[in-house]
Structure 1
Amino acid sequence: MLFKIVEENNGQVLEPVKPESMGELKLEKLILANQRDDNDNTTTQLLNEGIFGEELILLKNQIKVVNKKRADILALDRNGNGVVIELKKDGGRLGVETQALQYLADISRFKGEKFISNSRLIEKKFIESIESFIESASLEREDINTKNRIILIANSFDKTLFSMGEWLSEKGVGFKCIQYSVSKHSDGTQYIDFSVVFDRSPESTFPLEFSAIEREPKYFWYNIGTTDFDNWAFLKSESIVSAGFDGKEGDKGTELLNSFIKGDKLIAYVNGYGAVGVAEIRQSPENGYKCLSKSVKNDPVSEYHLHRLKVKWLYTSNDDFNGAIAPSVLKADFNIHHPYTTSCSIASEKAKRLIQHLKTQLG
């Protein structure tokens, strides 16, 4: 609950702020319009983690389901579970889960390849990114949508709904409730807050993860976030990869670059061109990472990217991206899809084949 701090004679007290509701379509547009920022200042299909508390990739919204009704949003989580996301402008009460379950029952009929190739459930323009997401998460295609989950978003919840959520989770259906609160400042500025108030997601949704230093080196895509020839030349000459995001220490850029370890190999990707080079992390991020405080003269990359990580470029295309391996070739010859976000892992055997090809082509 959001409170306003009010001054009284005997000190400060908390005064509850009455939440305002928001129309379901407006709420949906707001959520879809604020997907996670990618490294090249575009949005990805990843729904905002600040809202959902986990990584979800959008499959489609306003999906036609049973009885000529429509499900608000359909997504996929990192474990291959189909996730039905239902939005309510007012309170979530007992009975609203029945509607979501009807949608879930309809969608759960499709599993594996039948789910991935179903144009009713997945936007055609999203297929490439979804394939990349599946590959990066090391998901077996036959396991896609064999389990399902429900996420409800409303501005309040009747606690009896949580009892139903407990029961559903015992039956293997993950259930999460996210409460939103809209408030308006005296200057007219609107604020919206999202908080998870009930969560019975499967334990595997949040698996135990070891810190980066404890894992073995891996292969990753890295979208360099620019199509400018001068910027590419600068990245090569300075032996760095860069990231933008908020441009502040501790943001997604810091998190991303510090997630790599010594020995990781990054295959550089440029939108519209494809794979353009290979870099290796030769030192730990604590020694090779820095975040500039502001843009620097004669540093064209600093105009949009302040995060830096030292790398060793092994093979690179010319400054004009001549020699790049086109996305169509990546898919046809290597069965590798373009990155769905700034950086995502690539299966080792596929990555090794691609790197050998880049070595031969780029030298």
Structure 2
Amino acid sequence: MPIEVGIWNVSNGVKRVNFTAIASEKKLEEILEEDISIISDNLLLLGRQVPTAFGKFIDLLAIDQDGNIVIMELKKQRTPRDVVAQIIDYASWIQSLSYDEIVQIYEDSYKASLEDAFIAKFETGLPEEINKAHQMIIVSAELDYETERIIQYLSSNFGVPVNAVFFRYFKEGHEEFISRSWLIDPNVVEEKTSISKRDNKKEKWNQQDFVVNFDDDQYRSWEDAVKYGFVSAGNGKWYSRTLDSLFVGARIFCMIPKSGYVAVGKVTSKSVPLKDAEVHINGMTKKLVDCDLQARNMKHDLDDLERCEYVVTVEWEKTVSREKAFWTTGLRANQNSAYKLRHQYTIEKVSEFFGL
């Protein structure tokens, strides 16, 4: 089971705020429709109560930046075990939908262009191919043990991309709060969205290795990154948002575009705006923004959370200068600031270069 979440009001003494039943599944739908980032920042809602071809309705349907479809079934109380069969039934219908049919679902729901909404959300156009894979998420206040066992069994033994997210609804006076926690790490389930025959040909991710593209330019300096232990990206959410995928303990292979791989290290903190980033120098903790940075323009747009620089601190294992960067034919590169490194050949060659 997920970790239990509790909330205490400490504004005047210490008082626990007890959770209560939400009024209806409709209210929960309304909350998630208003802000689907409660589930994930990497989702755009396609529709609510989406009708299927067999007379049923999908509570919430969404799409992620890669064009994968996410099916959500909501239960305001304890889930019956047949909810798993229900959501898999929805998935069996979803997998056959064409590009145009997915676009039509959004347009029927919101009377607007999916392409425009996708660009506004992700700052990039719709992929040429969408609905190659999908995820299933059961959203509930409580999961019975039978349902939990079924989800764990399907996910662990058969790679079925199904998960459960638990919410708690709190109310104190006129204030309302909602919290959520996952049954299975979403990063693990994300890997199981590759369920089509075509995706089975893709190399599997080892669940620890990433590539980070570090632009050594007027906004950031590789010498700063080595000295203070960090990677960063900014000047728009399209560039900085992929840093959110980096988790503490992840291993990163750092590359300077058009030069090559310059470092390997381990992530020590999640992505935060530059003004909040802290680094450890000579046994002391210091704000990175207060350090003597060679990249003076790194401090651009400090109070603009859309455009400011975002920082992930790193404990470097091996580094080289830009001039000694490693590159050879066959290594993988990608335009995203951070992405999962699946390519075993790249892992082996870069590890060999750094003597790992």
In the alignment, does 2:85 pair up with 1:98?
Answer: yes
**Offset, 1:29:** 0.7
In the alignment, does 2:154 pair up with 1:154?
Answer: no
Question: Quick one: distance in 2 between partners of 1:188 and 1:219?
Answer: 38
| Equivalent residue number for residue 169 of structure 2 | 182
The residue type equivalent to 1:90 in the other structure is Q
Write the mapping of 1:221-236 to structure 2, written as runs, cut at 5 A. Answer: none
Write the mapping of 1:1-363 to structure 2, written as runs, cut at 5 A. Answer: 1-3=4-6, 17-33=18-34, 35=35, 47-48=36-37, 51-112=38-99, 115-116=102-103, 123-130=110-117, 132=119, 140-142=127-129, 144-169=130-155, 170-185=157-172, 187-198=173-184, 199=186, 200-203=188-191, 209-211=210-212, 213=214, 254=273, 283=295, 286-291=298-303
The residue type equivalent to 2:133 in the other structure is K
Question: Quick one: distance in 1 between partners of 2:275 and 2:113?
Answer: 24
Contact 1:19 1:181 in 2 (8 A): yes
Question: Quick one: distance in 2 between partners of 1:80 and 1:306?
Answer: 25
Shift of the 219–125 alpha-carbon distance from structure 1 to 2, 3 Å rule, reads farther
**Offset, 1:133:** 7.2
- State TM-score, norm by structure 1: 0.49
Contact 2:81 2:146 in 1 (8 A): yes
Contact 1:290 1:307 in 2 (8 A): no
Question: Quick one: distance in 2 between partners of 1:133 and 1:307?
Answer: 13
Contact 1:63 1:120 in 2 (8 A): no
Contact 2:70 2:136 in 1 (8 A): yes
CA deviation profile, 1:247-296 (whole Å, cap 9, x unmatched): xxxxx9947999xxxxxxxxxxxxxxxxxxxxxxx9565433433xxxxx
Q: Which deviates the most, 76-85 or 189-198?
A: 189-198
CA deviation profile, 1:81-135 (whole Å, cap 9, x unmatched): 1111111111123111111112111111114455445668764514223553798
Contact 2:21 2:169 in 1 (8 A): yes
SS in 1 for 2:152: helix
The residue type equivalent to 2:45 in the other structure is L
**Offset, 1:161:** 1.8
Task: Report how many aligned residue pairs link the two structures.
Answer: 229
Contact 1:147 1:173 in 2 (8 A): no
Contact 2:169 2:176 in 1 (8 A): yes
Contact 1:61 1:71 in 2 (8 A): yes
The residue type equivalent to 1:290 in the other structure is L
- Aligned-residue CA RMSD (Å): 4.7
**Offset, 1:67:** 3.2
Question: Quick one: distance in 1 between partners of 2:234 and 2:100?
Answer: 26
**Offset, 1:151:** 0.9
Question: Quick one: distance in 1 between partners of 2:208 and 2:296?
Answer: 25
Contact 1:148 1:173 in 2 (8 A): no
Identity score, percent: 20
Shift of the 119–154 alpha-carbon distance from structure 1 to 2, 3 Å rule, reads closer
Structure 1: which 5+ residue stretches go unaligned?
7-11, 36-46, 224-251, 259-281, 292-304, 311-343, 346-363
Question: Quick one: distance in 2 between partners of 1:207 and 1:136?
Answer: 27
**Offset, 1:76:** 0.9
SS in 1 for 2:112: helix
Structure 2: which 5+ residue stretches go unaligned?
194-206, 220-232, 239-270, 278-293, 310-334, 337-356
Shift of the 219–289 alpha-carbon distance from structure 1 to 2, 3 Å rule, reads closer
Question: Quick one: distance in 2 between partners of 1:207 and 1:129?
Answer: 34
Question: Quick one: distance in 1 between partners of 2:92 and 2:113?
Answer: 23
Question: Quick one: distance in 2 between partners of 1:52 and 1:73?
Answer: 11
